[in-house]
Structure formats: structure tokens, C-alpha cells
Amino acid sequence: MRKENGRLWGKLNDGKFEVRSVTQADLEEALDVLDSSFFLNESVSIACEINLPENNQARLDLRELCRITALDGISLLVKDVETGRVVSVSFNKLQFTPPPGEDHFFLKFRNESAKSPQARGLMDFMIEVDGRTDVCAMYNMDCFCELMFLATLPSHERLGLGRSLSQFTIQLTQELADGKGTEDIDEKLRSKRPAAVTALWTSSFSQKVGKATNFKVLNAISYSEFEYNGKRFDERISSLHKFCEHVIYKF
């Protein structure tokens, strides 16, 4: 991850917005987008009570998850050119099979770093859904990019920013698969060649993004199957969002 001046991937809406790689200089502002949108409005965050004001530790836990994830150097953001403000973000993680005896990234963070039951609940959901389909075995690959958290400020929704971040995440991952653009990513990851992009679309809105960007649905899981703090997920989540989709874009 660069210190500043993240790579420019493209311009949107007649140059009003720029898509750039996340840098150390703008990481905190990118994380703030989560506080103002994802943690308040995302389906599983609501189901696990991360949206409640008293559960600040859960939000701190997940900010730390994203801070560590950003060190991979493959996360992206959208800036409003006129104001310089970060208005949308995609925290992306290179996933691969860990060495023998080590836990994979999410499980390791969940067990060692997540202090709150709410954050652990969200991560348990991610781990469970990811684990239902072994994408590496299914597609005979050993590395992929997981589009982990996709968030846009409420003031900038319905402008196609999330869709654009998904498209550029695919482009970035394709470059890495071809051995290009490795100079900006974590040195320990430069030999990795991701063969796909995966995501968990947790709302009907993100599922529309997936369809628009040609992701394939691997599995659809009803929120009625999961429970947190005595309530099924579907009892807290809006009826607009009935299930989560585990999706893949394979090269």
C-alpha cells in the first residue's frame, strides 16, 4: 500500500469522481465511510446488532479488520473530486490456503483480535457462508480476491459507485493474475496469482451490483437459518433482503 497518491483506476460521472487505490494517507477516511454507512445499514451488521450505538467496540473491531485488510494493497475507494472526500470504498482481501497448522485470515482474526460478541457474530456468519462452498477446490485454484466490505455514503448512493468499485476490483485482480501491478501490494503477496473475485452480497442492492458485473451465484442462504442474541437474522433485517448470495467472478 502506498503512503499517498493512490493509483488512479478511472474517472466516473463526467470526471466528478475518481477511483483510486487506498493509501495510508486516506485509510482513516475510508474506514469512516464504514461508520457512516456499512455498520449502520448492512444486513448482517443489523442482524448482529453492530448498528446499535452502545456496540462501539464491535465497530472498532471491524475497522481493525479492514485496516489490516487494506495492508494487502488491493482495496479501492472513490473520491469526490471537488471536495476531495472519500465517498465509497471496497475493502478487498487476497485469500489463500494458509500454511499447515495455521488458521485462515478470517478465523485467525475472529479468534485472536475480535473483542466484541457482535463482531464475532458477523465473522461467524462470513466464515460459515464462505465454508459452505470450497471455491478453491471447485475451481482448482489456490488464491482469490475477496471483495470483503463494499460501502457508499448515503449521500452518494444510486450513482453506480459500488458497481464501479466492483468492476475495478475485477480489473485489479485480473492484473495480479497476469503478474502486473504487484509493486503496490504487500511484498509477501507479490507472488500470488488470484484466479477469481468472490463476495458475499448481503442485500438486494448489492445483489443487483453482482448481476450488473457478471458475478456467478454459488449459493443463496436464507437469513432465517442464522440467529444472534436470541433472534433470527430475518427478524431484524428488512424484508427487502431475504438472503445472502455467495458469488464468484472467475477469469
What confidence tens digit (pLDDT) does each residue in 119-152 have?
999 999 999 999 999 999 999 999 999 999 999 9
Residue 124, CA atoms < 13 Å, CB-side half-sphere: 13
Q: Answer whether residue 70 is part of any domain.
A: yes
Q: In this prediction, what percent of the chain has a pLDDT beyond 70?
A: 100
* pLDDT one-digit tens code per residue, 23-38: 999 999 999 999 999 9
Residue 180 cell numbers, joined: 502486473
Q: Answer whether residue 2 is part of any domain.
A: no
Give the pLDDT of residue 99.
Answer: 87
Provide DSSP, 82-96.
TT--EEEEEEEEEEE
- Residue 193's pLDDT band (cuts 50, 70, 90): very high
Average pLDDT over residues 197-201: 98
Q: In this prediction, what percent of the chain has a pLDDT beyond 90?
A: 98
Q: Answer whether residue 1 is part of any domain.
A: no
* pLDDT one-digit tens code per residue, 72-124: 999 999 999 999 999 999 999 999 988 899 999 999 999 999 999 999 999 99
- Residue 62's pLDDT band (cuts 50, 70, 90): very high
150/206 Cα distance (integer angstroms):
8
**CATH code assigned at 114:** 3.40.630.30
161/91 Cα distance (integer angstroms):
14
Q: Answer whether residue 195 is part of any domain.
A: yes
Give the pLDDT of residue 76.
Answer: 98
Sequence-distant (6+) residues with CB within 8 A of 249 are 170, 196, 197, 198, 213, 214, 215, 216
- The tally of domains found in the chain comes to 1
Domain extent, residue 45, equals: 8-250
Q: Answer whether residue 3 is part of any domain.
A: no
